[in-house]
Amino acid sequence: MFDTVLVANRGEIAVRVIRTLRSMGIRSVAVYSDADADARHVREADTAVRIGPPPATESYLSVELLLEAAARTGAQAVHPGYGFLAENAAFARACEEAGLVFIGPPADAIALMGDKIRAKETVQAAGVPVVPGGRDPELAEAARKLGAPVLLKPSAGGGGKGMRLVRDLDVLDDEIAAARREARASFGDDTLLVERWIDRPRHIEIQVLADGHGGVVHLGERECSLQRRHQKIVEEAPSVLLDEATRAAMGEAAVQAARSCGYRGAGTVEFIVPGGDPSQYYFMEMNTRLQVEHPVTELITGLDLVEWQVRVAAGEPLGFRQEDVTLTGHAVEARICAEDPARGFLPSGGRVLRLREPQGDGVRTDSGLTEGTEVGSLYDPMLSKVIAYGPDRATALRRLRAALAETVTLGVQTNAGFLRRLLAHPDVVSGDLDTGLVERVVDDLVPTDVPEEVYEAAAAVRLEGLKPATDGWVDPFSVPSGWRLGGEPKPVSFPLRVTEPMEYAPRGTHTVTEDRVTVTLDGVRHTFHRAADWLGRDGDAWHVRDHDPVAASLTRSGHAGADSLTAPMPGTVTVVKVAVGDEVAAGQSLLVVEAMKMEHVISAPHAGTVAELDVTPGTTVAMDQVLAVIAPHEEVAG
C-alpha cells in the first residue's frame, strides 16, 4: 500500500479523496494555484504544494508541475479526482513514466473510451447495444439516413459541450458547422458523430469496479435524468425504472464494456434508455474516472469507492464477487452550484460570508467550502453536493429536501432553493423522469417575485442599525421612531433593492441578531439567516442593497440618460469588439464575458455611440460592474 498520495485536483473532490486517504492512514499531498492558497483542500491535506501563479486555470493542467510536486513530496501515486486531467491518457502515461502509480484505469483504456467513435465500435463488438448512428466523414449522409431528430456529439469530449439536437434536416449543415466550432473550442478536435435522438429518454449509468486480476463487478445503476443544458443536477440510486431482470442485464453489459477495453479501477458505463421500454437500452459512453455522483452508490452498497480505487491501484484484488453486492435503501444527490436561477442560471461568485452544511440523520455533504472562501470565475461552478439516504425513495427525497432547506451559503448565489423545489415537483416525486423534464418545468421553479417578508427583514436590519448604541439617556431626535415636532409620527422607510427598487417601511415586529433576523408579519413568523446585506431561508438567498435613485439614474461619468452595460456575472472579459467613439447598431455584439466555462455575449441595447469603455481583454469584472456606456443617437445629436 502507498505511504503518500498526491491529489491532482481541487475543491470538493480533493477534500473527498483526502478524507479517505486519512482513514486509510495514507499521507495526502494537495496542490494549489495562487487563487486557492487558502482553500479547504489545502488546509485539510497533510501537506500542500504551490503549482503556479495565474493563469490559475492552467496550474492544475500542468503535467510538469504536478509531477514535480509528487517528486518533491515523495508521493508514490497520484489520484486525479474528476475534471482537469482525470481522463487524460497522456497524463496517465506521464505518471507511469515518472515511476508514479496513476489511481485510475490504464492509459490505453482512457484513450479508447475517450474517443466516442472507437468506444462505440469496441463495446458493440463485445455485444453491448449501441444507439444507431454514424460518424465523420459521412456524417451528413448518416444523419439524413437516420431521419430527424438526430443528435450531433463531439467525439473527443462530453459534458454537453458541442451537442446539438437537430429536428429539421434543412438546417443540418449549419448545425454541423456550429457543432464543429464548439467541439474545436472545447476539446481541440472537431470530429463529430451523429446518433438517433430518442424522445423523452432517461439517462441511466452503471458503476463498475475492476481489479488487475480479472475481477470485474457492477454496483448497480444510478438515475441521472434530471439535467439542465445536458448537465446533471440530481442523481439517485437505484432507478425506479428498472426491474431486477433489466438491472442484471444492463449490469452485465457494463461489465462486458469494461472488459472490452481492459479496464481497471472505478468507472461508469452510461446508457440512454427509452422511458417507455427500459429493456431497449443503448450504450452512450464510458467515463473512465470517479463520477461526481458516486456517493449515492456508496450509500446503497456500503462501499467506499475511493478506497477501492486506491486498493486496486496498489495491486489488491477485489475482495468480493458480483453475488456479494447488495443494494439497500435509496440515495439521492443534489449538486450545489454557484449560479443564479433568477438570472437564467448565470454563474455567480463572491465571498462566502455564512456557511451551514447539513450532516447526519441520513444526510451527507461533500464540500470544498469554508466561511471566507472566495468563489471566483476561474473554475467549475459546482461548490458541494448534498446527499440523502433512506430506507426507501420517499424518505430519501424528503430528507434531501429538508437538508437543502438547511443549506446556507450567504455571499454567493446558489441553486439550492431551486433544487429543493425541483425535488418536490410531482413528476420527480412519482419518478416519472426524463432528460427534458427540468427544461419543461424550470420557469415554474424560479420565483419571479421577492416575498414581502424579505423586505420586512431587510428593513428591520436597517432600522436596527439606526438605533443609538447607548444604555443611558437617548436624544429623542436620534431614535428612528418617525417622531416629529408638531405632527403625526411618520413610519421610517428605506429604499431597498433586491431585484427591483422598493420603498419599504417595516410594519411588523422583529428581532435582529448578528446572524439571524426574525420578523412577524400578519401573524406569521419568518426567520432568516443573515450575513452583511444577505438574507437566506430554505436554500434561497437574497442580496439586499440600499437603493439611491439619483445615483442609479447617472452613469459614473455623470451623463444622465446614457445606457450602461453591466457584467451579468463575475468573470473575465475575453473579447472587446468596439472602441470609444464607435457607432453601434441595436443588438450588435460588443463584448464577451467568460466565467466558469460559460461565455456571455454583451450586446448593444440600442443604436448609439460608445461613450465609455472601461475594460480590455483580460479584465476581471464583478457582477453588475459597468463595462461600457452606449449613448443613444438622439442624445449625441442633441
Q: What is the H or E stretch that residue 542 is in?
A: strand 540-543
Do 269 and 208 meet the contact criterion of CB atoms below 8 Å apart?
yes
Phi, psi values for residue 72, rounded to 5°:
-65, -30
The SS3 assignment for 115 reads coil
Percent of the chain surpassing pLDDT 70: 92
Q: How does DSSP classify residue 360?
A: B
Give the pLDDT of residue 477: 60
Phi, psi values for residue 347, rounded to 5°:
-60, 145
- pTM equals 0.87
Asked if the model's pLDDT at residue 188 lies above 60, the reply is yes
Asked if the model's pLDDT at residue 561 lies above 80, the reply is no
What's the pLDDT tens digit per position in 126-169?
999 998 888 888 899 999 999 999 999 898 876 677 789 999 99
| DSSP per-residue letters across 41-81 | HHHHSSEEEE--SSSHHHHTT-HHHHHHHHHHHT-SEEE--
The length of the chain, given as a count of residues: 638
Rounded to whole angstroms, how far apart are CA atoms 15 and 42? Answer: 9
Hey, what domains does the chain have and what are their CATH numbers?
A: 4-103 (3.40.50.20), 132-196 (3.30.1490.20), 201-445 (3.30.470.20), 452-468+490-546 (no CATH), 555-637 (2.40.50.100)
> Which one is predicted more confidently, 598 or 217?
217
Asked if the model's pLDDT at residue 637 lies above 60, the reply is no
Give the pLDDT of residue 206: 98
Q: What number of CA atoms fall less than 13 Å from residue 145's CA on the CB side?
A: 11
Do 158 and 187 meet the contact criterion of CB atoms below 8 Å apart?
no
Q: Which of 521, 515, 529, 628 is nearest to 581 (CA)?
A: 628
Give the pLDDT of residue 295: 98
Percent of the chain surpassing pLDDT 90: 73
Q: What is the H or E stretch that residue 93 is in?
A: helix 89-97
- Bridge-based pairing of strands 216-228 and 133-135 is unpaired
Residue 477: how many CB atoms within 10 A of its CB? 9
Give the pLDDT of residue 324: 97
Residues 6+ apart with CB under 8 A from 429: 394, 397, 423
Q: What is the H or E stretch that residue 89 is in?
A: helix 89-97
Do 35 and 57 meet the contact criterion of CB atoms below 8 Å apart?
no
How distant is the alpha carbon of residue 279 from its chain centre? 31
Distances (CA, A) of 187 to 63, 156, 182, 287: 17, 6, 8, 16
Q: What is the SS3 string spanning 136-151?
A: CCCHHHHHHHHCCCEE
Tell the burial category of 621 from Cβ atoms under 10 Å away from its Cβ (0-12, 13-18, 19+). Answer: buried
Q: Which of 45, 163, 35 is nearest to 596 (CA)?
A: 35
Residues 6+ apart with CB under 8 A from 272: 131, 198, 201, 202, 203, 204, 281, 282, 284
Tell the burial category of 575 from Cβ atoms under 10 Å away from its Cβ (0-12, 13-18, 19+). Answer: middle
What's the pLDDT tens digit per position in 313-366?
999 999 899 999 999 999 999 999 999 999 999 999 999 999 999 998 999 999
**Can you tell me the mean pLDDT for 614-620?**
90
Rounded to whole angstroms, how far apart are CA atoms 102 and 212? Answer: 13
Positive or negative torsion for Cα 449, 452, 453, 459: positive
Positive or negative torsion for Cα 531, 534, 535, 537: negative
Give the pLDDT of residue 569: 84
Give the pLDDT of residue 52: 83
Asked if the model's pLDDT at residue 555 lies above 60, the reply is no
Asked if the model's pLDDT at residue 636 lies above 70, the reply is no
Q: What number of CA atoms fall less than 13 Å from residue 628's CA on the CB side?
A: 29
Give the pLDDT of residue 638: 43
Residue showing cell 432547506: 405
Q: What is the H or E stretch that residue 19 is in?
A: helix 11-23
**Can you tell me the mean pLDDT for 538-544?**
97
Average pLDDT, the chain: 91
Asked if the model's pLDDT at residue 483 lies above 70, the reply is no
Task: Work out the pLDDT band at 48, boundaries 50, 70, 90.
Answer: very high
Residues 6+ apart with CB under 8 A from 377: 347, 349, 569, 570, 571, 572, 594, 595, 596, 620
Task: Work out the pLDDT band at 594, boundaries 50, 70, 90.
Answer: confident
Rounded to whole angstroms, how far apart are CA atoms 538 and 404? Answer: 7
Asked if the model's pLDDT at residue 469 lies above 80, the reply is no
**Can you tell me the mean pLDDT for 295-308?**
98
**Can you tell me the mean pLDDT for 42-63?**
87
Identity of the amino acid at 175: E
The alpha-helical segments, DSSP class H, found in 302-382 are 305-313
Give the pLDDT of residue 467: 75
What's the pLDDT tens digit per position in 223-247?
999 999 889 999 999 999 999 999 9
Asked if the model's pLDDT at residue 271 lies above 50, the reply is yes
Q: Which of 86, 125, 93 is nearest to 107 (CA)?
A: 93
Pick from 31-45, 300-314, 489-503, 610-624: least confident: 489-503
| DSSP per-residue letters across 497-512 | ESSSEEEE---SEEEE
C-alpha cell at 594: 467568460
Give the pLDDT of residue 471: 66
Q: Which of 531, 630, 623 is nearest to 578 (CA)?
A: 630
